Chains A and B, each alone.
Chain A
Amino acid sequence: MKLLTTNFIKCSVKACESSNKSFPLKYSNDCQLELNFEDDDEIVQSSYEFLIGILDKIEWEALLKVCQDLGNNDLPPNKPVLNEDVSNLNDNEKLILKQLFNLLVNTEIVEGSMSCDSCEHIYQIKNGIPNLLLPPHLS
């Protein structure tokens, strides 16, 4: 799963719905990460507008927490605010977008697990696909 996906999923257990501890899930530090493709500036450049669109959907606090779980503490504390007009990006903004691309789209969690802070159920990630199914006593 893309690192981006961690920003969309919460615990499946219905009782956890109202708990603010069920999002984001807690990622174990033995998660295996992989880069999707080699560093390719062309792909990054063609995705500027797209990334700004994605950034709009991100909950920054949750992203910070997941990155910490996975051992990355370098993110700025606040969501970067970017120029919507892609033709007018300055070098700094381009760098931010490239880093975001590498983090959100390019980084893949291949194997590992995640757990809910509220009910403590553990979900597995296998072959890059998170498994959010529940055993009968939780469903």
Chain B
Amino acid sequence: MPKYLIHLAQCNFDFRRPELESLAELYNVEYLIPNGNNNVFTELDAFQTAPYLILNLENDFAAFNLVKRSILTMGIYELYGSGQDYDSIISQIASQKTENCSFKQFLGQKETVLKTMRFQLHTSGARSKYTMTEQIKKFNKFEALNIQNKISLKAPDIIYQLFENFDTPESELPSKVFFTRLVTLSLRSKNILDNLRLNKRPYIGTTTFEPELSLVTCNLALVKPYKLTYDPFCGTGGFLSTCATIEPKSMVIGSDLDGRMIRGGSSKSSTNSHITGRKNKNENEDLEKLVGKLEIQNKKVQGVRLNFKHYKQEEQLLGLMTMDFTHNSLRSSLKIDSIICDPPYGIREGIKVLGSKNGQEEKSKYAMRDGKLAYLADDYVAAKKQYSLDELMIDILKYADSRLPLNGRLAFWVPLANAKGIETFVMKKEGGLVLKYNCVQEFNNWARRLLVYVKTE
């Protein structure tokens, strides 16, 4: 099998292996190594901060599928040679017979000859880049391999990529160099994070989830084209937007106990006031204009729907409703394929569900206002009661267990510990749901974890 090199993003290390494994599963990429418990991603655990992962995959198609939707990698490349320096790689390739040399096989393909190409160089670690002249000197060494393709700097068909790995920023020479060919860049390299940046999003709230890990959450939950993803605590719709963006044919549905968050106009959310409040206004002028235009065309577009309009994803949003998760209104015959959420933890937002303390039931049933039953009024605000995170987690698990199809996934965030410092209890299993991943994101004074469950029976 040909060798590939994955160029990894240098962040959120705990999530890198789960993401690649999930994508492999999603696109049926063979990643288990026969006769053992290991798989091709095991190495990521041994050396957590590694900039590269080298693995065997069936072909370019498998490599393309594995990385195209990933957020925690930069891209995937077919690996032709690695060593101390370029001369050793070149002499190694030159001495190999065609049947053992993937580079010669690639050059030998009929289609390859007519294609244009370009060389690129990337250095890992904090080391400074080379000047153009220094780079060209390195590229010219590869003349020895008799590459016949015409050069096109603007739009090459083939990109030969050189990687140099420096152990420390002070190192004089790279510890290893790689000669590769680009198969595909990841969504990360295609600017998806920039497009979803919170300061460029028309509608956000105080607890809107950051784009990067919310995209990773979508990958771990295996959101699929033409399949339904549900966020029962959607708030300002951060997960809904990222889900619709990472998979432009996916369908999303969201609900939240607090309707003001969905509709917009709550004190905890803002529609582009964060844009006008910023110092460097120029950058966001276009967005301001755009938001203005959206509002003129559709007078009432506000809240979560404004984001969907802004990203041109309106048809992907199948429904939004004010609803208590524990009193769920989605009909039980509706197939939900993935559930993703960031429930209130009781740290940044209090946990509440419908209901009241003892004795209120009778009162609410007969309370009158303006000659009508109060609870039927237009502006009736339903009573809510405090709830605990443990109860909520069990409710989420039970709900997911009853609604997900076989192999369907539930991905949700919980704090590592509550406000009193008591560690959150993590269930390994609930009904047919089994805990698959448990990844931690650290902050200065607290941490949260992403729990991913798979429906197994």
| A residues adjacent to B (C-beta < 8 A) | 1-2, 4-5, 8-14, 17, 23, 36-37, 43, 47, 49-50, 53-54, 56-57, 59, 101, 105, 110, 122, 124, 126-137, 139
Contact = CB atoms under 8 A, between A and B. Distances in A.
B67 interface: no
B399 to A, nearest CB: 13
A133 B354 contact: yes
B319 interface: yes
Nearest to B383: A136
27 contacts: A2-B317, A2-B319, A4-B318, A14-B327, A17-B332, A36-B314, A37-B298, A50-B226, A50-B249, A50-B315, A57-B228, A57-B334, A59-B331, A105-B314, A105-B315, A122-B376, A124-B378, A126-B259, A129-B321, A130-B322, A131-B259, A133-B257, A134-B382, A135-B382, A135-B383, A136-B354, A136-B364
Interface string B292-314: 00000010101101000000001
Contact of B322 (A4, A50, A129): A129
A53 B365 CA distance: 42
Contacts of B302: 127
Given A47-B315, A50-B316, A132-B322, 11 more contacts: A1-B320, A9-B319, A12-B323, A12-B324, A36-B298, A57-B251, A57-B334, A59-B333, A129-B303, A132-B321, A139-B382
Contacts of A2: 317-319
Contact of B323 (A49, A101, A126, A132): A132
A137 B362 contact: yes
Contact of B335 (A43, A50, A57, A127): A57
A127 to B, nearest CB: 5
Contacts of A127: 263, 300, 302
A101 B376 CA distance: 33
A9 B331 contact: yes
A126 B255 CA distance: 15
A134 B263 CA distance: 19
Contacts of A101: 315
Given A5-B318, A129-B262, A139 B327 contact: yes
Contacts of B315: 43, 47, 50, 101, 105
A136 B321 contact: no
B1 to A, nearest CB: 33
Query: Which size class do B's interface residues fall under?
Result: 35 or more
Contacts of A9: 319, 321, 329-331
- In the A-B complex, the 5 residue pairs with the closest CB atoms: A53-B226, A5-B319, A135-B375, A133-B382, A137-B365
Nearest to A44: B315
A14 B329 CA distance: 9
B259 A129 contact: yes
A133 B226 contact: no
Contacts of B327: 12-14, 132-134, 139
B443 interface: no
B365 to A, nearest CB: 4
B356 interface: yes
Contacts of B330: 8-10
B372 to A, nearest CB: 11
Contacts of A37: 298, 314
B360 interface: yes
Nearest to A135: B375
Nearest to B380: A135
Contacts of A49: 226, 249
Interface in B80-109: none
